Chain A
């Protein structure tokens, strides 16, 4: 089945540790995105990538880093510099030209202990 997978579903991290969230898609989409959602809030864009080996900062990129070495994969690293990392993280993708439907993965809930 085509779609977006994210792992893990739940992640617990100690303060001061970096952690990497996985996102993989088999939709052959060019563009991939990472969003953060806090309880009762909307989605805020962290980073997005329109093509392999290229990515742009979104609205809240501080404390996060990404890479796009393969079309299918767009991992997100939450660094120790991110002051409030506890949140729900969603990965998404969209097809050529940025038009059409955006598809979302099931999300990763990160909790910092």
Chain B
């Protein structure tokens, strides 16, 4: 199956700092999503971004499908940004298979 690697595994920031999270995948994809898991366990979708660039407030994401990676940018980080960030992909050659594969996540801690 497809391999999804996220880096760094852990990241500690001071409030106000910027950060970049990376997601590498081993095959062509037709679905790529970034999620934030809050301390209560709820997963919130941040971006659906199989290719291109999107922005939503202080967050933006870029997927370079031909080079098989995606980046999530967090600017002016706040303590509420803390949590785990997951990347999930669906292999393009999977046909009608709807399976999504998750990376192990990046644990972000933003200190005041």
Contacts and interface: CB of A to CB of B under 8 A. Distances in A.
Interface residues of B, number: 24
Main SS of the interface on chain A? strand
Interface in A21-36: 31, 33, 35
Interface string A41-63: 11111001010000010100000
Size class of the A contact interface (CB-based, 8 Å)? 20 to 34
B105 interface: yes
B100 interface: yes
B43 A58 contact: no
Contact of A103 (B45, B96, B102): B45
14 contacts: A31-B98, A42-B86, A43-B86, A45-B101, A94-B98, A94-B100, A98-B31, A98-B90, A100-B31, A102-B33, A102-B88, A104-B43, A106-B40, A107-B41
Interface of B: 30-31, 33, 35, 40-45, 48, 86, 88, 90, 96-105
Given A101-B33, A104-B43, 14 more contacts: A31-B98, A37-B41, A42-B102, A42-B104, A42-B105, A43-B102, A45-B100, A48-B99, A97-B98, A98-B96, A98-B97, A102-B88, A106-B40, A106-B41
Interface of A: 31, 33, 35, 37, 41-45, 48, 50, 56, 58, 88, 90, 92, 94, 97-104, 106-107, 109
